[in-house]
Amino acid sequence: MEYGNQLNQYDLTATPEAVEKVLVRARELAPRNETADVYKLCYGCIDLTSLGCTDSDARIGAWVRKAMEFGRHFSGIPNVASICVYPNFVEVVGLAVGDGNMAITSVSGGFPSSQTFLEVKMLETAMAVENGADEIDIVISVGEFLSGEYDRMANEIEMLKNEVGPDTVLKVILETGELKSPELIRKASLLAMIAGADFIKTSTGKVAVSATPEAAVVMCEAIRDYHAKTGRKVGFKAAGGVRTASEAVLYYTIVETVLGKEWLTPFLFRIGASSLANDLLGAIEGHPVKYF
């Protein structure tokens, strides 16, 4: 498909001034959302993530078992939405999760740089799904996008979506910190959705600038406009550097402000995090918590 032409159906304008206007409103509203109920909802939208070079079968297995035992230690709090790992640990997570209802998320496609052969991306993705991944997080080819190769970038997403099939959630990471301008973030958001993304996600957490509220506003507005034109709901995921309950609530409030409360479910709103889980638990419990 000629994806570049598809962009002509949308207003591509996105200015820092317009973004700031929405963000000021969200910041004004955020304090009212600093409640136990919102903290709990945010906790239930976490993709609990471990993407470190020291990960091992033993470490990931023990970590996932702790996540599965969460309900024994904390009542009235929904468990995290998913466990997110490298593809070689998907089977380990599956054994630890067992028949639990927690989703298994795998990064794939040459994460975090997306710099490898398309055939390798497709094989890695297929193997992750075959081993039990319910959700796949890939990164756009940022270099191709910044070079204006919109068709090449988007066709790759389409091929990977076809690889995972309709029953597996595909989250597409834009790496917004490398895109620099609201207009580029808007274009990347729209291209990813047109190509088949089920979620669009801010960042890998592996570059200098990760998730920002400004990028979230642009992405949510793109989701809103795409939904208005197509009727298809695409989710939003903030990831990279989201560490505190207050930060999580701000992203919650941005989604609420731009997209409405119907987007505030684990099916359409996620936060990729590791240390955030403990901070949210502390906010809910009223004292510091270090469970993970």
Residues catalogued as catalytic:
137, 201, 237
**Separation between Cα atoms, residue 104 and residue 94, nearest integer Å:** 7
Q: Is the Cβ–Cβ distance between 251 and 212 less than 8 Å?
A: no
Please give the DSSP secondary-structure letter assigned to residue 132. Answer: T
- Cα–Cα dist 42/283, whole Å: 11
CA nearest neighbour of 269 among 198, 209, 191, 173: 198
Residue 161 burial (10 A CB sphere; 0-12, 13-18, 19+): buried
Q: List all residues 6 or more positions away from 42 whose beta carbon is below 8 Å from its beta carbon.
A: 245, 248, 249, 252, 271, 280
H-helix segments, 117-212: 118-130, 142-146, 150-164, 182-194
According to DSSP, residue 203 is labeled -
Question: What would the two tokens of residue 250 be?
Answer: 């701000």
- Cis-peptide into 166, omega within 30 deg: no
- CA 130 – CA 127 distance, rounded (Å): 5
- In whole angstroms, give the CA distance from residue 179 to residue 210: 11
User: By the 8 A CB rule, do 242 and 272 touch?
Assistant: yes
Evaluate whether 42 touches 248 at the Cβ level (below 8 Å).
yes
**Token representation of residue 287:** 């004292």
